[in-house]
């Protein structure tokens, strides 16, 4: 345990613990994985320029997302099938998030029901990730369940009209064991709720902005769109009355070759300026300095996916707590060393780009 001091250490440990097929399912990306690597490398091309001789003896790490408080601006992104990493699955994840006063977006492809997750961690901020599937009755049923269970927002994934080409899964012949349930997708007229992630029930390739409007007619929950990468789509999101945007490329698992999320962030932030739409980011966050950079560029908070799975594989709930505590400590240290005292007021002036990396601030 003493040798595990950062998130990269946890990933190396989990790679040894998980079988190749499961590790590759979690860790790999689409096609040649250009975007997968770009998510991390883009953060490394951004440098920090600290404000010195500031009194940083007290630092305020908390923030709010859609009016709900987080103890620090990091929460858990939706990832599928946590029980492949640890028997307690999403319940362990949610309990860890609750213990640090963080939040969690539960995946539609969770191996634990949305009701069981929220009842096991009532003090956690819970959002629910939604795909609009071909069976609109199933979509509406899922939305009603999320409302009734107490979820505070719907996070609609918009970058998956079809599943990206993931070469490692194809080479491994990745399949989910028949004992694995996907209880959030269970439906009286549904037959492929056990393991067939790519069955026709799961995804509709015909979803458009009109469907965002349709969702707003069947729920009072705020809607957050996950997968926006451009200013033009961000403007449409504002026009369609969403509450938030997660700048995301699905962890590099969908269209390979798209921008790293930190590179896409400034354009999206600029596009929603003057509106009430909040902007968040996921993808590539591995250090506290990454959190600081994202906030300096306009994100209100960041969400982490794969590191949570590495923590689960290491030691379940305790491992996920370790992940969050590492990032919280690193972020607090980065704030101090950058001369920042309030997570909600990280200035752009602490950011510098390398000369060969063009981006709009």
Active site residues: 250
Q: Which residues contact 91 (CB under 8 A, 6 or more apart)?
A: 112, 116, 117, 120, 121
Residues 152-164 as b/e (b if ≥16 CB within 10 A, e otherwise) read bbbbbbbbbeeeb
Strands 74-76 and 223-228: unpaired
**DSSP string covering 144-200, please?**
HHHHHHT---EEEE-S-SS----HHHHHHT----TT---GGG--TT----SS-TTST
Beta strand spans in the chain (E): 46-48, 63-65, 68-70, 74-76, 103-106, 125-130, 154-157, 223-228, 244-247, 278-282, 301-304, 351-353
Q: Is 130 helix (H, G, I), strand (E, B) or coil?
A: strand
Burial label, 170 (beta-carbon count in 10 A; 0-12, 13-18, 19+):
exposed
Give Cα 319 distance to the centre of its chain: 18
Using CA atoms, how far apart are residues 262 and 123, in angstroms rounded to an integer?
30
Using CA atoms, how far apart are residues 63 and 65, in angstroms rounded to an integer?
7
User: 10 Å Cβ neighbour count for 166?
Assistant: 21
**Alpha carbon of 19 to those of 50, 245, 340, 341: distances in Å?**
43, 34, 42, 43
The length of the chain in residues reads 361
């Amino acid at each position: 345990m003493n040798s595990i001091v950062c998130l990269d250490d946890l990933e190396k440990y989990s790679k040894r613990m998980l079988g190749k097929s499961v590790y590759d399912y979690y860790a790999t990306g689409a096609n040649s994985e250009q975007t997968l690597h770009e998510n991390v490398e883009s953060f490394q091309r951004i440098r920090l320029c600290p404000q010195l001789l500031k009194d940083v003896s007290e630092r305020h790490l908390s923030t709010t997302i859609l009016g709900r408080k987080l103890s620090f601006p990091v929460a858990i992104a939706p990832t599928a099938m946590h029980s492949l990493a640890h028997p307690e699955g999403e319940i362990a994840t949610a309990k860890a998030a609750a213990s640090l006063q963080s939040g969690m977006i539960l995946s539609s492809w969770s191996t634990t029901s949305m009701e069981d997750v929220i009842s096991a961690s009532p003090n956690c901020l819970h959002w629910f990730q939604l795909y609009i599937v071909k069976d609109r009755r199933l979509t509406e049923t899922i939305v009603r369940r999320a409302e009734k269970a107490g979820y505070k927002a719907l996070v609609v994934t918009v970058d998956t009209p079809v599943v990206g080409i993931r070469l490692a899964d194809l080479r491994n012949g990745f399949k989910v064991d028949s004992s694995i349930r996907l209880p959030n997708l269970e439906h009286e007229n549904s037959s492929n709720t056990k393991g067939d992630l790519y069955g026709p029930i799961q995804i509709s390739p015909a979803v458009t902005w009109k469907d965002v409007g349709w969702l707003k007619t069947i729920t009072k929950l705020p809607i957050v769109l996950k997968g926006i990468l451009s200013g033009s789509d961000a403007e449409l999101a504002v026009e369609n009355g969403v509450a938030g945007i997660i700048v995301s490329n699905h962890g590099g698992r969908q269209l390979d070759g798209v921008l790293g999320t930190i590179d896409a962030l400034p354009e999206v932030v600029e596009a929603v300026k003057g509106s009430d739409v909040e902007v968040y980011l996921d993808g590539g966050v591995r250090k506290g300095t990454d959190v600081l950079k994202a906030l300096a560029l306009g994100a209100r908070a960041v969400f982490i996916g794969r590191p949570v799975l590495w923590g689960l594989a290491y030691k379940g709930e305790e491992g996920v707590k370790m992940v969050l505590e590492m990032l919280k400590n690193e972020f607090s240290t980065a704030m101090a060393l950058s001369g920042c005292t309030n997570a909600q007021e990280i200035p752009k002036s602490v950011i510098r780009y390398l000369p060969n990396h063009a981006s709009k601030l």
